[in-house]
Amino acid sequence: MSVRRVASFGALWAVVTGAVLLAPGCYGRNCEGSVEVFGADAGQGIMLDEDTWASSKLDERWLAFPSQRYYIFDIRALGGRTPEVVIPYLSGSPEPTKNGGNFTIGAGNLAELFSVSPNRVDVKNDTCSDYYLRLVVQMPPLPPATPELDGGADDAGIADASDDDAAADAGDAEAGP
């Protein structure tokens, strides 16, 4: 093998190795995750109606959802209810309804759902790509309010049906043949 071939092979190897090392990918420290809590503080999220909560309005700035981000949505506005429907919307733009942006419903490892329980939903971006997130949560309706019972009412004027039956039976026994 000539020196020229060895040098050409070495140069080719250096170019390919350099390209692999410089190419973006999910290795090294570029895909480390973080954990954020959202919804517990005042002003974090809104009730769209009495049974629907959203992390933001559709036309507002969405939450940053970088690679490997794990969100804990602590939503006290749910009133102790467990969500029935959880919809994670994703976009490449922080304000997708402006300037011709777009969005889609997140599925698969783009928006993994965990810990759906009373007042809580966790969402993870299990990819090495950065997005923006708008979470919409629908709950069952609150149970109807029960009327308060008046514990101080006087029951003296209310006759017991069993007392009436006993009096009628006693009257029948006295009548005799």
CA distance 65 to 67: 7
CA distance 148 to 167: 34
Nearest to 133, CA basis, from 74, 63, 70, 86: 63
This prediction's pTM: 0.66
- The predicted structure's pLDDT at residue 136: 97
Q: What is the mean pLDDT of residues 23-51?
A: 82
The beta strands (E) that lie in 110-177 are given as 112-117, 120-124, 131-138
Full residue range of the structural domain in which residue 138 is found = 45-143
CA distance 43 to 60: 13
Q: Are strands 85-91 and 46-49 parallel, antiparallel or unpaired?
A: unpaired
Max CA distance (Å), the chain: 139
**Number of structural domains the chain divides into:** 1
Q: What is the mean pLDDT of residues 71-99?
A: 94
CATH number at residue 93: 2.60.40
In a domain, 27, yes or no: no
Nearest to 133, CA basis, from 93, 101, 98: 93
In a domain, 39, yes or no: no
Band (pLDDT 50/70/90 cuts) for residue 145 is confident
Q: What is the mean pLDDT of residues 137-163?
A: 68
Q: Quote the percentage of the chain above a pLDDT of 90.
A: 56
Residue 52 phi/psi, 5° resolution?
-135, 125
- The predicted structure's pLDDT at residue 112: 96
